[in-house]
Structure 1
Amino acid sequence: MSSRDKASATWRQLALVGSLADLDRAIATFEQGEQSAPSRQSSRADALSTLGIALATRFERVGRTGDLSRAIDAHAQALAMFRELGDRNGEGQALNNLALALRQARRFEEAIDAHAQALAMFRELGDRNGEGQALNNLALALRQARRFEEAIDAHAQALAMFRELGDRNGEGQALNNLGTMLSEVGRRQEALETAAEAVEIRRRLAAENPAVYEPDLAMSLNNLGTMLSEVGRRQEALETAAEAVEIRRRLAAENPAVYEPDLAMSLNNLGTMLSEVGRRQEALETAAEAVEIRRRLAAENPAVYEPDLAMSLNNLGTMLSEVGRRQEALETAAEAVEIRRRLAAENPAVYEPDLASALNNYGNRLSEVGRWQEARSASDEALRTYQRLAEAAPSVYEFDLIAALSNAAGFYLAAGDVVRAISLYERTLADSVRVLGEDHPATLTSRNNLAGAYESAGDVVRAISLYERTLADSVRVLGEDHPATLTSRNNLAGAYESAGDVVRATPLYERTLADSVRVLGEDHPDTLLARNNLAGAYESAGDVVRATPLYERTLADRIRVLGEDHPDTLTSRNNLAYSYARAGDVVRAISLYERTLADSVRVLGEDHPATLTSRNNLAGAYESAGDVVRAISLYERTLADSVRVLGEDHPATLTSRNNLAGAYESAGDVVRAISLYERTLADRIRVLGEDHPATLTSRNNLAHVRSKAGPKKGGWSID
């Protein structure tokens, strides 16, 4: 290792363990040394390089943009001086240092140019090891600029170079990075094989010299776990992530200052893997441990660790949501936004993308507690940020913009604005195909989402066509047993059911349930959902004898796995009540609906959309039992609440108005029933369109009540 390499390594170590006061003193010393060094001599150029590295290190520690600007300037001066002196090796090192600082400033294209010059320099010098490292650094900069294919090529060249040199450590590094890049472009099987080879090499190196190579092994295990998860091998992914945590926990016990940050990162990954296999309480505990570590580190050194704390808070919010603790999830996501907003105000170039990501997550949490207007506001802010960033650097932020557009479309769909949702989903799919390709997993997700929007709009023909294509593509690209393939099959079954084709829907639901049990396990939340959906298909077919026991089992399993108060458990209790009502057991249905409503009010709040649905369903049960007085009172309240919470034109509001009209009809008040049916029909034509199934229902309801009432003088007439 050259003296210049040693200087760089020293300052990277100081970034981890040195005190800020030591760093400040060292920078002051280097500034004096640089000023006192003879001009146009290599010692002055070396001093500038060391000063630049130290300033960049302090930027990482404190986040002062002035330090980063000075670091870039120092490296540029050092580069000019080495060139003037004809020191080619020094010039190559200075180019590399300059490129690293430019990457910190997110000036990726300039960094790529500097790395490319360094690569040419090392090739000219015949420095094969320097060439390999330069290729690796160039690839990382290309990745940050989202020039993925070029990055893959550079990593492959670095890999070939390290293999030629017999550099096993460099080979493991190149394989690790290449695997990550292959995953980014959707080549997930190749990514998995590459990551597995990196682990194999680093495991052998760690066996020979654990003190040096175990940290690298843990890093590669983290990556391998992600690759295994992406191809649907989630149990193996979990075991791999757990091994990474075990290594890093041991290293952190020996040297917490150096390895606790890495432990927190591995805990984040392990939490995700636990969640994917349905062990959500353990996932929550693991995510909470990561937050606890990073909160403590951030308290000691906010500039370095607050960004990581915000990331862990985002993950913790997701885990809290999954176990049904949605208010806590919202508060956690809000804290992540608060941190990232403050960081972005201080250094927008570095932290605005992270703020946009946190806003997207915050929007999801707001949506879950029924605060859709605020959710859409958060999503819109994230979208505006990504649009601005993508205009300035399309290759870097296009993918993030696509994800933000998809998120925004989801909020419009939830708010009942199907037309805007479809428009955004259509754009998202077109952009995904253009940027990522037809077969990228994110493109398959975009096609699935658009199909769902078509289904919500009542266009089941287009929905089914798109779902069928998505399923075929998922089977071909991801495999029969990938969790995303199981979801695609479930969604296609749902579209068949929406179209009234329960004959095709039922066997597809049955297969999805059988595959979910085999692939995910009996207790996975997705398996419980598949069982619930199959029960719904039996019910749609009029087979309440098979539907009711399946609903009863799903409710019992959700109570055991998720808990009494989980939103999915409340849904199961609601579905079972409906099945009892369909079977004619109105007494049991009412009892269960009353409990579901009380629980929804207590757990979700009076104004949550699920609570409004529960109140609507209880009113329906009262109506079925002949208690139209109580039914009308409850329907009237539900309609008033729906107008206030969701708005006049939300599809759920239109359903509430239709149901209230039905209750008036049951009570014999055909005048009020007709008036409300007419308004509902007009609104559904305007909002949903002439051919939407709900519009057709409204037209039928109005015709039916008019036929019962008969013509009246001066009243309505049938065209």
Structure 2
Amino acid sequence: MSDIETIFETARQLDPELRGAYLDRACGSNQELRAEVDRLLAADDHLGAFLESDVFDPDATLPDLPPSAAQTSSQPAEAAGDQMGNYKLLQQIGEGGFGTVWMAEQREPVRRRVALKIIKLGMDTKQVIARFEAERQALAMMDHPNIAKVFDAGMTETGRPYFVMEYIKGIPILQYCDHEKVDTRGRLDLFTKVCHAIQHAHQKGIIHRDIKPGNVLVTMHDGVPVPKVIDFGIAKATNAELTDKTLFTQHRQMIGTPVYMSPEQAEMSGLDIDTRSDIYSLGVLLYELLTGTTPFDHRELLDRGFGEMMRIIREETPHKPSTRLSSLGETASRTAEQRHTDIRRLGLILRGDLDWIVMKCLEKDRTRRYDTANGLAADIQRHLSNEPVSAGPPSASYRLRKFVRRNRAGVLAALAVGSTLLLGLAGTTGGMYWAVQEKDRADLAAEQALEAQAVAQTRSEELQQVVEFQSAQLSGIDVAQMGINMRQDLLENARLVGERLQENTPQIEERIAAVDQSLLGVDFTGWAQSTLETNVFLPAIDAIQEQFGQQPEVRADLFTSLSETLHDIGLLDLAEKAILESIETRTKQLGESDPQTIDANMRYGMILTDLGQLDRAEQLFQNTLANAIDSQGEDSRSAIDVRYHYATLQFAQTRYQEAADMYASTLEWYRTHLGPLDGNTLGAMSSLAASYNYTDRQVEAEQLYSKAIDGMTELYGRFDQRTIRALNNLAGLYRSMDDLPRAAEIFTEALELSRTTLGEDHNVTLMLKDNLGGVRYNQLDFDGAWQLTNEALEGRKRVLGPLHDATLRSYYNLALVNKDMKRFDASISLLQQALPGFERVYGEFHGYTITVRKELSNLLFQEKRFNEVETLFLNEYALFDHVPDAPLDRKRSLTNNMAVLYRHWDQAQPDRGHAEKAAEWKARFEAMDPEPQADP
């Protein structure tokens, strides 16, 4: 395709108002080129661009052609009813820049509908004729059910060539999938057929060079969608000339459609184009099928100008499909809907295998792409079968996840939820556990043994093994989402049981409701943690110790990686065990001043901080920081990282000014050395903002939070969980500043993003509901506060269980809302439900627990339910005999409260002995040490 053809084809697809600017850039000062393109566009406008590509639709209503349509030639154009050899033209059904496609009727030797493609009048240049002949010969060489067949060829009376091919009544693959709302699996099934078609072409020595949605049509055969690859007009032979009329590609001549073009096509430097160029274009097509958009936006490419457009294709790496989806904004909802799912689930579907497969296709270095189209199709089939894909890291943990998904039914069956529950009979949840079969354990052990052999060869291979293990060792795991999925699987299982028993809809709904009710007390997040701990992480620790005993540095790296994952998902005791193994090994092998040893000690300090062992963490951070400065230097990366996490400890100790000073120094270093958009820089910015909020520097905190959010939006996307959490922090700042309208606005935005991306029951969504409910409460919008806080409580009960600390806080928050709405009985009930949980989780005399007791006793006292207040006080008083470190000030306050209770009780119900008890408790109070003061 020549430059003039390329510019013409691109310009004709643009809206008229965009053409001028594009042509100015594309043609530059070449007035002759501009005039020729303008002439072609004028002719094309007269002929009428009915369709963007050769789409065969016999039902389309076509307008009459104006008299000027043939002004590019003195000879008349074809018309319906014309005869060309054995073919009668019936209707023009498609049109490109240089050719038209007619539906025609063949009468001899067989009677059938065909498609007849012919060069337009005035467009029959040598290059176009060569391209036309190449397409005909390419199609004639191939015989595949997913490639349009060519039947015949000929010449019109005016000397213009035509060829006759299979008539396809279809629409472009992307348009078909979106219109029919084909889910991701269905799209992948269609795409693998396209891969097989391209593989067939490659085996025949043909490279397509212009794979795009418009050149893959979907037609229906017996109700089954069948993709057909068309338009081999710029195909290239790999081992033979397609035609002796083919012209040599001129220097810097562009072949293909830019947005689907491979980097080597964009190079235009004479680099030979081979079959791997089609693999890249297939990757772009797959990207668009999955996300609804191309790796590089079409209009943005055009806006950059020709040279910059080519540079971007050659040099810039696009975002992964899952990352691109998170940045689509409102478009993402429509994209997910067209794939018969929601944004959160679509993001989960794309992350992992499909991200890896697509990005392997889009490698700039073609040697890193799939070698063949069949290899690409095979990897997709492995993904659909829940087998490990070649594009992904081959770690044991990754293959284990694949085994669980591949044997989903068996694994679900191993969840002993009680047979009566799974059969839908009345009953409660019992004996839940996640069973991993002995075969699975043997498979995993074998895989780990293979990995151990692989890493035993050389040090470089050892390090590569570490990288692969770290990248796939359940990185980024979301235990809250795992818990949600477990719960949904159980409910779905109940529905399937009902369907197998041929129950009607009300019966199935009743069955699901019964299972749902029985699951209310289950902490699914805790269950997910326990599942991972028992069946993945504990065996992983044993495996590392056994398999890597002779490779201490690799062993230490693996323990560090494992500890980080355990820390992230909240298994702190196990994380401590793993990091101590790493510290011991690194100290022996590398010495205590090595950066890796310093890093391991820093991570141990982070774990101790989250365990609440602040004094131990303080001592460790001080020693580690001094070691880092002495051995690596004040301005070293090791010292900066330790200083950052030491600041986090100071923040936890409420030493906000010290934390702010330390955060500020680390932020400056990260910004200078890593850049303003590095994740470390943005994290330090957000942490410093939090410190400023607690040191009366709210204006600076607001500026920092805003910059961090802008950076995270650019780096991760607006829908990323990190961005959503940053928005939550900014809204919290506005709430602390009493800017309630602004706080409500930001919380609302974050909540909608979280709902869309993570779902209604994700812990981030529930946190945002609770926080926004708090703002509504502050605004005295009690109805709004009740709605949000109640949703947060119900969601946390479902996902986290009634004893999770977040659930307990929701109980308390909703009780306060009910109290201010004068719903005292409801408030009392919530506090009564929550109190045992606070005692169990926090302890009998934790500040939270005492606050709940006070609130409950005040409400009961207000409602004159004196006997319940008495029981509450006496139960608490009895605890002092069993809790040695119980606070004495609370005992003194409680003693006084007992006297007050009986005095008021006597006033309400005299002569029942309450006066005597009031005097007794007053005497006890007066006999106690007067310090500290009692509660007012």
| TM-score, L = length of structure 2 | 0.41
Matched, 1:321 2:478: yes
2:797 & 2:791 partners in 1: Cα distance? 10
Matched, 1:645 2:841: yes
Query: After alignment, is 447-456 or 296-305 more displaced?
Result: 296-305
2:576 & 2:582 partners in 1: Cα distance? 10
Number of residue pairs matched? 462
Q: Provide closer, same or farther for how the CA distance between residues 291 and 666 of structure 1 changes in structure 2, counting only shifts above 3 A.
A: closer
Q: Is the 8 A contact 2:449 2:547 kept in 1?
A: no
Report what 1:156 is aligned to.
Answer: none
Matched, 1:661 2:854: yes
1:382 & 1:323 partners in 2: Cα distance? 23
* Deviation readout 1:26-56 (Å, 9 max, x if unpaired): xxxxxxxxxxxxxxxxxxxxxxxxxxxxxxx
Report what 1:243 is aligned to.
Answer: 363
Alignment gaps of 5+ in structure 1:
1-198, 212-223, 272-283, 368-374, 681-685, 689-694
Answer with 1 or 2: which has the greater Rg.
2
Q: SS in structure 2 opposite 1:447?
A: helix
Alignment gaps of 5+ in structure 2:
1-262, 276-314, 321-325, 328-354, 383-387, 407-439, 456-464, 484-524, 880-884, 904-920
The Cα of 1:343 is off from its aligned counterpart by 5.0
Matched, 1:470 2:666: yes
Q: Provide closer, same or farther for how the CA distance between residues 432 and 603 of structure 1 changes in structure 2, counting only shifts above 3 A.
A: farther
Q: 2:392 is aligned with what amino acid?
A: L
- The structure in which a higher percent of residues are strand is 2
Report what 1:614 is aligned to.
Answer: 810
Q: Is the 8 A contact 2:580 2:604 kept in 1?
A: no
The Cα of 1:531 is off from its aligned counterpart by 1.9
* Deviation readout 1:629-661 (Å, 9 max, x if unpaired): 544554455453244335568xxx433423433
2:876 & 2:626 partners in 1: Cα distance? 39
Report what 1:521 is aligned to.
Answer: 717
1:59-458 superposed matches below 5 A: 243=363, 247-248=367-368, 250-251=370-371, 267-268=392-393, 303-305=449-451, 315=472, 317-321=474-478, 324-325=481-482, 331=531, 334-335=535-536, 337-339=538-540, 341-350=542-551, 352-353=555-556, 356-357=559-560, 359-361=562-564, 363-364=566-567, 366-367=569-570, 375-395=571-591, 398-434=594-630, 436-441=632-637, 443-458=639-654
* Deviation readout 1:392-422 (Å, 9 max, x if unpaired): 2124995444444344333333333333333
Match of 1:551 among 738, 743, 747: 747
1:497 & 1:433 partners in 2: Cα distance? 30
The Cα of 1:366 is off from its aligned counterpart by 5.0
Q: Provide closer, same or farther for how the CA distance between residues 325 and 633 of structure 1 changes in structure 2, counting only shifts above 3 A.
A: same
1:442 & 1:288 partners in 2: Cα distance? 37
Q: Is the 8 A contact 1:290 1:312 kept in 2?
A: no
2:874 & 2:727 partners in 1: Cα distance? 41
Q: Provide closer, same or farther for how the CA distance between residues 347 and 523 of structure 1 changes in structure 2, counting only shifts above 3 A.
A: closer
Q: Provide closer, same or farther for how the CA distance between residues 487 and 361 of structure 1 changes in structure 2, counting only shifts above 3 A.
A: closer
The Cα of 1:480 is off from its aligned counterpart by 2.5
Report what 1:593 is aligned to.
Answer: 789
The Cα of 1:582 is off from its aligned counterpart by 0.9
Q: Is the 8 A contact 1:460 1:498 kept in 2?
A: yes
Q: Provide closer, same or farther for how the CA distance between residues 295 and 662 of structure 1 changes in structure 2, counting only shifts above 3 A.
A: closer
Q: SS in structure 1 opposite 2:567?
A: helix
* Deviation readout 1:159-202 (Å, 9 max, x if unpaired): xxxxxxxxxxxxxxxxxxxxxxxxxxxxxxxxxxxxxxxx99xx
Q: 1:353 is aligned with what amino acid?
A: A
Q: Is the 8 A contact 2:803 2:837 kept in 1?
A: yes
The Cα of 1:330 is off from its aligned counterpart by 6.5
Matched, 1:561 2:561: no
Q: Provide closer, same or farther for how the CA distance between residues 587 and 316 of structure 1 changes in structure 2, counting only shifts above 3 A.
A: farther
The Cα of 1:551 is off from its aligned counterpart by 1.1
Q: Is the 8 A contact 2:815 2:827 kept in 1?
A: yes
Q: Provide closer, same or farther for how the CA distance between residues 240 and 404 of structure 1 changes in structure 2, counting only shifts above 3 A.
A: same
* Deviation readout 1:298-320 (Å, 9 max, x if unpaired): 79865323786995597362333
Q: Provide closer, same or farther for how the CA distance between residues 489 and 208 of structure 1 changes in structure 2, counting only shifts above 3 A.
A: same
| TM-score, L = length of structure 1 | 0.51
Matched, 1:494 2:690: yes
Q: 2:661 is aligned with what amino acid?
A: S
Query: After alignment, is 379-388 or 589-598 more displaced?
Result: 379-388
The Cα of 1:667 is off from its aligned counterpart by 5.8
Report what 1:460 is aligned to.
Answer: 656
- The structure in which a higher percent of residues are helix is 1
Q: Is the 8 A contact 2:782 2:821 kept in 1?
A: yes
The Cα of 1:577 is off from its aligned counterpart by 0.9
* Greater relative contact order (CA < 8 Å, ≥ 6 in sequence): 2
Q: Is the 8 A contact 1:245 1:267 kept in 2?
A: no
The Cα of 1:593 is off from its aligned counterpart by 1.5
Q: Is the 8 A contact 1:494 1:505 kept in 2?
A: yes
The Cα of 1:439 is off from its aligned counterpart by 4.1
Q: Provide closer, same or farther for how the CA distance between residues 401 and 543 of structure 1 changes in structure 2, counting only shifts above 3 A.
A: same
1:717 & 1:330 partners in 2: Cα distance? 46
1:491 & 1:468 partners in 2: Cα distance? 9
Q: 2:848 is aligned with what amino acid?
A: T
* Deviation readout 1:339-374 (Å, 9 max, x if unpaired): 45235325512264355235414532551xxxxxxx
Q: Is the 8 A contact 2:466 2:558 kept in 1?
A: no
* Deviation readout 1:465-503 (Å, 9 max, x if unpaired): 112222222222222232322221211111122234433
2:690 & 2:593 partners in 1: Cα distance? 34
* Deviation readout 1:74-97 (Å, 9 max, x if unpaired): xxxxxxxxxxxxxxxxxxxxxxxx
Q: 1:267 is aligned with what amino acid?
A: G
The Cα of 1:575 is off from its aligned counterpart by 0.9
Q: 1:360 is aligned with what amino acid?
A: S
2:365 & 2:734 partners in 1: Cα distance? 45
1:249 & 1:566 partners in 2: Cα distance? 37
Q: SS in structure 1 opposite 2:780?
A: coil
1:330 & 1:341 partners in 2: Cα distance? 17
* Deviation readout 1:596-630 (Å, 9 max, x if unpaired): 12211222233333223322322332344344554
1:569-588 superposed matches below 5 A: 569-588=765-784
Q: 1:341 is aligned with what amino acid?
A: D
Q: SS in structure 2 opposite 1:461?
A: helix
Q: Provide closer, same or farther for how the CA distance between residues 403 and 616 of structure 1 changes in structure 2, counting only shifts above 3 A.
A: farther
2:637 & 2:844 partners in 1: Cα distance? 37
Q: Provide closer, same or farther for how the CA distance between residues 245 and 675 of structure 1 changes in structure 2, counting only shifts above 3 A.
A: farther
1:305 & 1:245 partners in 2: Cα distance? 28
> Percent identity at matched positions?
20
Q: SS in structure 1 opposite 2:475?
A: helix
Q: Provide closer, same or farther for how the CA distance between residues 488 and 416 of structure 1 changes in structure 2, counting only shifts above 3 A.
A: same
